[in-house]
Amino acid sequence: MTETTNSTRDPELTKSRILDAALDVFASKGYHDTRLDEIVEESHTSKGAIYFHFPNKERLFLALVDQFADLLERRVTAAIAEEERGIARVRVALQTCLDTFGRYRRPAKLLLVQAVGLGASFENKRNEVNDRFAHLIETYLAEAIDEGHIKAVDTEVVAYAWMGAMYGVIIRWVYTGEPEPARIMKTLLPVLLRSVGFEEDGNE
């Protein structure tokens, strides 16, 4: 009874609790094997509270994907704000993407693994998130070209190729725990930068 009263008074807090609980249950049981009753129990709310915020299980799952994409974009935007235009922004955007996937394994699993093969709406959401971050990388690549840090390349193709490379190694990490995020960053980041003709100085 107390939970219902609190939910009515603070719907955003309730929504946050539902999302946190859904993340735990989806990540441990998978989309198809998760029942809303389990999310109700985990969040200490009610089915009515869930339906107030999310019309069905699919919308709840997609909301988690959006939540992770928003987090990733905020972290990238904040990180590049500290950098000069050009290749420094490309580098920090890539590093922040890799670091964020490494820190947030459960939502990464939802986006990169569980959303695969769940149907058109899930695939559309994955493509939407992929487009969102490929466009960010494309923007910073174009800046690096304008600044003369790298030669002209097809920024759109490169951005999607980079997203594919990152997804490939991160999906393996999500499944197996290897290679660990620090190893991914140390090895993959220089390879991606060299692919557009940029060699980093030193031994970073």
Gyration radius (Cα) of the chain, Å: 19
| Residues 6 or more apart whose Cβ sits within 8 Å of residue 129 | 65, 69, 111
Domains in the chain (CATH in brackets) are 1-54 (1.10.10.60), 61-194 (1.10.357.10)
Nearest-angstrom CA–CA distance, 51 and 146 = 49
What integer pLDDT is reported at residue 141 of this predicted model? Answer: 92
Convert the pLDDT of each residue in 87-98 to its tens digit.
888 888 888 888
Question: Residue 105: which of 188, 186, 173 has the closest Cα?
Answer: 173
DSSP 86: S
- Name the residue with tokens 């999906």: 171
What integer pLDDT is reported at residue 161 of this predicted model? Answer: 95
Given a cut of 50, the residues of the chain with pLDDT beneath it are 1-7, 202-204
Sequence-ordered alpha helix ranges (H) in the chain:
2-9, 11-29, 36-43, 47-53, 57-80, 87-103, 105-109, 120-146, 155-176, 181-194
CA distances from 179 to 173, 175, 184, 193, 201 (A): 6, 10, 6, 20, 25
Residue type (1 letter), 136: L
Q: Whole-structure pTM over 0.75, yes or no?
A: yes
| Residues 6 or more apart whose Cβ sits within 8 Å of residue 38 | 25, 29
Question: Residue 108: which of 30, 19, 174 has the closest Cα?
Answer: 174
What integer pLDDT is reported at residue 204 of this predicted model? Answer: 41
What integer pLDDT is reported at residue 203 of this predicted model? Answer: 40
φ/ψ of residue 110, rounded to 5 = -60, -45
Q: Using DSSP, state whether 55 is helix, strand or coil.
A: coil
The answer to whether the beta carbons of residues 94 and 76 sit under 8 Å apart is: no
Question: Residue 178: which of 105, 113, 95 has the closest Cα?
Answer: 105
Nearest-angstrom CA–CA distance, 18 and 41 = 10
Convert the pLDDT of each residue in 60-103 to its tens digit.
988 988 888 899 889 989 998 888 888 888 888 888 888 888 78
The answer to whether the beta carbons of residues 139 and 80 sit under 8 Å apart is: no
